[in-house]
Chain A
Amino acid sequence: MKYLIVGASSGLGKELAKKFAEENNDLVIVSRDERDLNAIKSDLETKHKVKIDVLPLDFSSINEINDKLLSKNNLLSNLAGVMFPIGMMFDDDNSNLNTESISRLINANYVSIAYTIQKIKKILIKKENTSIIGFGSVSGFLGRDINVTYAGAKRGLESFFESMAFDDDLKKANIQFYTLGYLATNLSFGKELILPKASVKKLSNIVFKNRKVKFKKTYYPMYWMVVNLILKIIPFSILRKLKFK
Chain B
Amino acid sequence: MSKQQTEKRRLFSFDKSFSTNVIFSQPDKYKLLEKVSYNSNNLINIGSNLSYSPLGFSKESLSINIRSFDRILHFDKKEKTITVEAGLTLIEFLNFTLKHNLWIPQLPGYPTITIGGAVAANVHGKSCGKHGTIRKSIKSILLFHKTHGWLNLSKEENEEIFDLTIGGIGLTGTIVSVTFELMEIKSSKFTTEKKEVNSIEESKKFILDESKDASYTYTWNRADNLINFGKGFVYKNYLDKNPSDFHGFKEVKRKFRPFIFPMWNKFSINVVNFLYSKLNKLSKSEKNENFLNVIFPFYGNENYFNFFGKKGFIESQLLISEEKFESFIEEFKSLFKQFEPTITLFSLKNMNGKQKFLRFEDNKICITFDYVNNKENLLFMSKIDSLYDKYDIIPSVIKDSRLSKETIKKSYNEELISFKEKLCKFDGKRIYQSEISNRLEI
**A residues with CB within 8 A of B:** 9-11, 14, 32-33, 35-36, 39-40, 42-43, 46-47, 91, 185-191
Set of chain B residues within 8 Å of A43, measured between Cβ atoms: 71-73
Set of chain B residues within 8 Å of A11, measured between Cβ atoms: 28
**Contact (Cβ within 8 A) A35 B30:** yes
**Contact (Cβ within 8 A) B71 A39:** yes
Bound-state Cα–Cα, A40 to B30, Å:
12
Residues of chain B from 81 to 105 with CB closer than 8 A to chain A in the complex: 85, 96
B6 near A: Cβ within 8 Å?
yes
Set of chain A residues within 8 Å of B301, measured between Cβ atoms: none
Size category of the B interface is 20 to 34
Closest-by-CB residue of B relative to A191 is: B4
Closest-by-CB residue of B relative to A34 is: B30
Set of chain B residues within 8 Å of A40, measured between Cβ atoms: 71
Closest-by-CB residue of B relative to A36 is: B29
Q: Which of B4, B25, B32, B75 contacts A91 (CB 8 A)?
A: B4
Bound-state Cα–Cα, A195 to B26, Å:
21
Q: Which of A33, A47, A186 contacts B26 (CB 8 A)?
A: A186
Q: Determine how close the nearest CB of chain B comes to the CB of A102; give it in whole angstroms.
A: 19
B117 near A: Cβ within 8 Å?
no
**Contact (Cβ within 8 A) A190 B73:** no
Instruction: Given contacts A91-B4, A186-B27, list 14 more A-B pairs with CB under 8 A.
Output: A36-B31, A39-B30, A39-B69, A42-B71, A43-B71, A91-B2, A185-B28, A186-B4, A186-B26, A186-B28, A189-B5, A189-B6, A190-B3, A190-B5
List 9 tightest A-B contacts by C-beta distance, closest first: A43-B71, A190-B7, A35-B30, A10-B28, A46-B72, A42-B73, A186-B28, A39-B71, A46-B75
**Contact (Cβ within 8 A) A189 B72:** no
**Contact (Cβ within 8 A) A190 B29:** no
Tell me the dominant secondary structure on chain B's binding face. mixed
Given contacts A42-B71, A46-B75, A47-B96, contact A33 B29 (CB under 8 A): yes
Set of chain A residues within 8 Å of B32, measured between Cβ atoms: 186
Set of chain B residues within 8 Å of A36, measured between Cβ atoms: 29-31
Q: Which of B3, B29, B74, B85 contacts A9 (CB 8 A)?
A: B29
Q: Which of B4, B7, B69, B73 contacts A187 (CB 8 A)?
A: B4
**Contact (Cβ within 8 A) A33 B4:** no
Bound-state Cα–Cα, A188 to B6, Å:
10
6 inter-chain pairs at a CB distance below 8 angstroms, sorted by A residue, are A91-B2, A91-B4, A186-B27, A187-B4, A189-B26, A190-B3
Set of chain A residues within 8 Å of B7, measured between Cβ atoms: 189-190
Q: Which of A33, A42, A46 contacts B30 (CB 8 A)?
A: A33
Given contacts A39-B73, A40-B71, A47-B96, contact A186 B30 (CB under 8 A): no
**Contact (Cβ within 8 A) B85 A39:** yes
**Contact (Cβ within 8 A) A42 B72:** yes
Set of chain A residues within 8 Å of B75, measured between Cβ atoms: 46
Bound-state Cα–Cα, A187 to B74, Å:
29
B293 near A: Cβ within 8 Å?
no
**Contact (Cβ within 8 A) B71 A190:** no
**Contact (Cβ within 8 A) A186 B71:** no
Set of chain A residues within 8 Å of B29, measured between Cβ atoms: 9-10, 33, 36, 186
B68 near A: Cβ within 8 Å?
yes
**Contact (Cβ within 8 A) B74 A190:** no
Specify which of A32, A46, A190 lies most central, judged by the most chain B CB atoms within 10 Å of its CB.
A190
Q: Determine how close the nearest CB of chain B comes to the CB of A13; give it in whole angstroms.
A: 11
**Contact (Cβ within 8 A) B4 A190:** yes
Specify which of B6, B27, B29 lies most central, judged by the most chain A CB atoms within 10 Å of its CB.
B29
Bound-state Cα–Cα, A14 to B30, Å:
14
Q: Determine how close the nearest CB of chain B comes to the CB of A40; give it in whole angstroms.
A: 7
Q: Determine how close the nearest CB of chain A comes to the CB of B84; give it in whole angstroms.
A: 9
Closest-by-CB residue of B relative to A44 is: B71
Q: Determine how close the nearest CB of chain B comes to the CB of A228; give it in whole angstroms.
A: 24
Set of chain A residues within 8 Å of B26, measured between Cβ atoms: 186, 189
Produce 1/0 per residue, B15-56, CB < 8 A to A: 000000000011111111000000000000000000000000
Set of chain A residues within 8 Å of B68, measured between Cβ atoms: 10, 186
Bound-state Cα–Cα, A228 to B392, Å:
69
Q: Determine how close the nearest CB of chain B comes to the CB of A38; give it in whole angstroms.
A: 8
**Contact (Cβ within 8 A) A33 B31:** yes
Specify which of A47, A187, A191 lies most central, judged by the most chain B CB atoms within 10 Å of its CB.
A47
Closest-by-CB residue of A relative to B73 is: A42
Set of chain B residues within 8 Å of A10, measured between Cβ atoms: 28-29, 68
